[in-house]
Amino acid sequence: MEIRQLRYAVLLDEHRHFGRAAQAAYITQSAFSQQIAQLERELGVRLFDRTPAGSTPTEAGTRFLEHARTVLANLAVLQDDVRSIADGHSGVLRVGMFGAGAGEFTPLLVDAYRSAAPGIELVFHELSMTRQFDELLDGIVDVAILHPLCDRDDVAFTPLFDEPRLAALPARHELADADAISVADLAEQPFVLAGTGVPDPWRSFWTCGDPWQGAGRPRAEMRSISEGLAAVAYLRVVDTVPATSARYHRHPGVTFVPLHDASYSSVAVARRADDGRPAVEAFCHLADQLAIEHHAVVPGAVRPAPEK
């Protein structure tokens, strides 16, 4: 869902009429109606009862509107805060994303930043698995949404949330129909490995440490999410993936099964440690504050535990 849809829902509640609400939003009634209908489809509930005389919120709609107004009020405060950091600045902010980025949280963050810093043009770049930190340090991107999984002195991380991991199995694997499996169930299974150049902690995390080394069975390497899924589907190897990747990257030959005892994967915004430009600091600050209140837009996500 998008921030504008929240605003449209509040306008409709205030005007109780699609035509008048559309006029207040400065868009056509048909476009306004389509946005409300899309919002209802995404939520899976009817928010407004339509009658010839106008529209009124349903019980679910009333509850939704309470949350929408809270979100919009919080965003207004955040946007003022971010503007105070980035005020008077213009230019381009290059945003790198690996895989599914921050999933359902990404459009909320991007929409809020665009509203808070209208003078900054956003450009998006897909990060390479093997060079994602290099692309940040080389200046190809200014900020990156990725899975940190390693400590670096030259990169500053803003943690957003932690999310569950799933096992990616060949569709005909003997465990493909299980409701959930454990890490121990992956013993003796050959893993697809992140390609050469990926930091060792990254590779070790996704293979759950792989203490059994796949019993000497053949393994595969990947340089992208699509290569990894193809290896799982056709080479009978296995992998673990964050839940967002299981929703955003589908493959007919791959089945995703929950791992009930695997440690969660983290998602963060990364920037160069010595990059203090206002546009970069504003993006990271906004991401941090939004994640505190709205990380739950990502199913199963939890806020990271405080560092001791």
User: What CATH number did the domain enclosing 117 receive?
Assistant: 3.40.190.10
Query: Which tens digits make up the pLDDT trace of 17-64?
Result: 898 899 888 888 898 999 999 999 989 999 999 888 889 999 999 999
Residue type, 157: F
Beta carbons within 10 angstroms of residue 148's beta carbon: 20
- Evaluate whether residue 40 is within a structural domain: yes
pLDDT band at residue 206 under the 50/70/90 scheme: confident
Taking the complete model, does pTM exceed 0.95, yes or no?
A: no
Alpha carbon distance 281, 279 (integer Å): 6
Q: Is 254 found in the same domain as 121?
A: no
In-domain check, residue 200: yes
Contact 270, 157 (CB under 8 A): yes
Domain boundary residue, one of 18, 50, 82: 82
Last residue in a domain, options 31, 58, 82: 82
For residue 210, being part of any structural domain is answered with yes
Q: What does the pLDDT average to over 162-167?
A: 96
Lowest-confidence region among 74-78, 248-252, 261-265: 74-78
274 and 143, same domain (yes or no): yes
Decide if pLDDT at 116 tops 60. Answer: yes
Residues spanned by the domain of 190:
165-258
The model's confidence at residue 212, banded by pLDDT at 50, 70 and 90, is very low
Do residues 254 and 170 share a domain? yes
Q: Are residues 22 and 148 in the same domain?
A: no
The verdict on 139 and 272 lying in the same domain is yes
Instruction: Name the domain boundary from 36, 57, 82.
Output: 82
Token pair of 29 as six digits: 């009634």
User: pLDDT-derived band of residue 214, with 50, 70 and 90 as boundaries?
Assistant: very low
Four-CA torsion 115, 72, 243, 287, nearest 10 degrees:
50
Instruction: Report the distance separating Cα 50 and Cα 255, nearest Å.
Output: 41
Task: Annotate the chain with three-state secondary structure.
Answer: CCHHHHHHHHHHHHHCCHHHHHHHHCCCHHHHHHHHHHHHHHHCCCCEEEECCEEEECHHHHHHHHHHHHHHHHHHHHHHHHHHHHCCCCEEEEEEECCCCCCCHHHHHHHHHHHHCCCEEEEEEECCCCCHHHHHHCCCCCEEEECCCCCCCCEEEEEEEEECEEEEEECCCCCCCCCCECHHHHCCCCEEEECCCCCHHHHHHHCCCCCCHHHHCCCEEECCHHHHHHHHHHHCCEEEEEHHHHHHCCCCCEEEEEECCCCCEEEEEEEECCCCCHHHHHHHHHHHHHHHHHHHHCCCCECCCCCC
Whether 246 and 173 share a structural domain: yes
269 and 223: one domain? no
> CA geometry: angle at 104 spanning 284 and 198, to 5°?
65
Q: Is the pLDDT of residue 308 over 70?
A: no
Contact by Cβ (8 Å): 198, 147: no
Would you state the pLDDT for residue 26?
Answer: 84
Tokens of 128: 């390479």
* CATH number of domain containing 50: 1.10.10.10
Do 182 and 246 have their domain in common? yes
Asked if residue 189 belongs to a domain, the reply is yes
Q: Does the pLDDT value for residue 182 go beyond 90? A: yes
Asked whether residue 177 is domain-assigned, the answer is: yes
Same domain, 251 and 286: no
The mean pLDDT of 140-168, rounded to a whole number, is 92
On whether residue 213 sits in a domain, the answer given is yes
Number of domains in the chain: 3
Angle at 95 between CA 90 and CA 97, to 5 degrees: 170
Whether residue 173 is found in the same domain as residue 247: yes
Residue 216 has pLDDT above 60, yes or no: no
Quick one: 247 and 121 in the same domain?
A: no
**Cα 276 to Cα 4, 78, 87, 105, 273, distances in angstroms:** 30, 19, 14, 24, 8
Nearest to 91 by CA among 122, 120, 123, 125: 120
**308 located within any domain:** no
**145 shares a domain with 105:** yes
- The position carrying tokens 């991401």 is 287
Give 65's pLDDT tier (boundaries 50, 70, 90).
very high
